[in-house]
Structure 1
C-alpha cells in the first residue's frame, strides 16, 4: 500500500534530503508535496489530503505544535523531525507517531514509516478514521509494563507506577507509588537503556526519575534537586542540569 506524505520544513535542504531518503529506502511512501511554512502546509493539506505529515518543529513564523493545534480536523499521522531533542516529550503529547532527530537515521525512519503503515491498514480494516486508530494506539501504549526481577521471582508494574530508581551497588532500588519499593537484581544502567526515554530521565549517576508522572518541583536553592510526588528529593548533577531544564520546558 502507498502512504501519501507531505513534508513540512522551513529549510530547503532538510526537505529535499528527507525526500531522497524516503525515495531510496521507503518505496511505499509517495511524496505529495513539500511545504516551507505552516501556512503553505494548510493549503497542501486541503489539496492533497495526505495520510502522513513529516513536520519540523522549530519553524520561524509558526512552529509545528502551533500548526497542529490550529487545525479543526486532523486525519493524518504525524512524524516530527527536528534538530532539537528537548522537544521530545512535547512531541508525544501532541500525539505524534514518532520523533526523528536530524540528521535523520535511516533505520529510525524506516521504523517510523512502518508504524504509520500498520495504523493505516488497521484504519482501513476496521473502517475507522485514521485519527481514531492513532488515539487508540497511543492510549494502548501510554503505560508500558515492565518486569522487576527480585529474589523471589518477578514483579510486574506499569511504568507510571515507578516514581524513581536508585543505584545500590550492582542492584537497583525501585520506588513505586503508595510507598512500595523493590530491590532489583539489574543495575541502573540496564533500566536507563530500557525504560521509556520520554518518561524517565537520569539525573545523576545513581538516580533515574519519572519526570512525566512524578516530578512535582525543581529547586535550585536546595542545591539543584527534584522533588517527587512521594516526597523524596533527588539530586541533579551539574552535567545533567541543562538537559533536565530543557525537559521541564517541554511540559
Structure 2
C-alpha cells in the first residue's frame, strides 16, 4: 500500500524550500502527499530555531500534531531545532518517533539521532543526501523561492545560524538556473542567509551575485532578492536589480 506524508513547515522561506525538497525526496521514495496531517503515515515537522518564539511555536506545533496523528503513523522532527538541539529535543519530546538533522533520511527505520557535532559544511562529507541540491517538484504557484546558498560566514552576535547551518556553501549558477527552469514559475525569489556573499566560498570573486541575478532574470519575467546586507550594496548590484523586472530588495537590519 502506498505510504502518505505530511510536511508542516515553520520559519523562513529557506525552510519552505527545504520542505519542498524533502517532499521531492519522499516522492522519489514512493510516498504521496496526504490530504491532512491526521491521515498521513509520515508526519514531518520542519522546525525553526531562530528566536524563542519560533522555538516555542515549533514545540507547540509538534505536540499538536502528535495529539492529532492517527495510530500507527510516524512523527519526525527535522529542521533547525533538530540540528541545533538534537538529543535534548528528542529527550524533551517522547511523543516524537525521530529527531533528524539536515540531510538525514526520514525512513521508518530511522532512530532518534544524538546531537551531532558541528562539522563545517563546506569541507565535510555530505550526510545521507544533499538537501541544498535536491530536486524539487514544479511550483504550484506563479512564484517560487530558490535557495542559492546554505550557511553564513558572518559572526553576528545576535544570530546562531552559522553554528548549526555551517559556513557559506554556494551552489553553482548552472544548478540554480536548472532549478529555476524546472519550477516553471513567472517570479523567482532568490534566498540565502547572505545573498551578496554568493560565490565567495568558491573563490570566484566578490560579486558573483550580479552574474547570478542576470542569469535568472534571463529566464523569468521577475526576480526578487531577499536578505541583502546594506554594506554589500554596490552600484553594479543595484543596476542588476533594476534589470530584474522588480526594482526591489530586502535588507537584513
Q: TM-score range by the shorter chain?
A: 0.3 to 0.5
Q: Relative contact order: is structure 1 or structure 2 higher (C-alpha 8 Å, sep ≥ 6)?
A: 2
Larger radius of gyration: 1
TM-score, normalising length: structure 1: 0.34
